Amino acid sequence: MAMLEKHRNVLYKHFVDEIGEEATQAMLAHFPARDVEEPVTRADLATATAALRSDLATATANLRSDLATTTADLRSDLATTAADLRSDLATTAADLRSDLATTTADLQSEIHEVSLGLEALRTEMHRLLNRQIVALTTVIGIAVGVILGAG
């Protein structure tokens, strides 16, 4: 308990004459003048320690709860994002398959058209070749006839 100022004054006046001012001030320094200057007792320390431990336990529990909530939220967000990505991937794969099928059909059609064009070209070349053969045969026949007739 703190010493009242009037008691400090009485002690100071009594001892200053007996032991001197410096020694009296040193002695009175061991007696607190205010409640905040009182020495801490073991009971005070135990009470403060218990309160601190309680506050720490509460803060730890709150942090664990917050961490659990945040973890659950993140897992939920991750699951939603994964589902969205899977859906997007499936849609993209279906679109690519459709595009591939369309492109394949277009290429097959173009190949068929080119094939028909080549067949028509082949037929025309045979026709022209046959005409050339007939023309050359005729020319050779006439030439042979002229040579035999002249000879």
Judged against a pLDDT cut of 60, whether residue 35 lies above it is answered with no
- Give the angle subtended at the CA of 44 by the CAs of 41 and 46, to the nearest 5°: 110
pLDDT averaged over every residue in the chain: 91
Of residues 127 and 18, more confidence is placed in 127
pTM of the model: 0.46
Exposed e or buried b per residue across 72-100, where buried means at least 16 C-beta atoms within 10 angstroms of its C-beta: eeeeeeeeeeeeeeeeeeeeeeeeeeeee
Of residues 112 and 7, more confidence is placed in 112
- Give the angle subtended at the CA of 67 by the CAs of 63 and 71, to the nearest 5°: 175
Q: Confidence band (pLDDT; 50, 70, 90) for 87?
A: very high
Q: Which two tokens mark 95? A: 């679109």
Of 25-34, 60-69, 87-96, the least confident: 25-34
57, 27 contact by CB (below 8 A): no
pLDDT confidence of residue 100: 97
pLDDT confidence of residue 34: 64
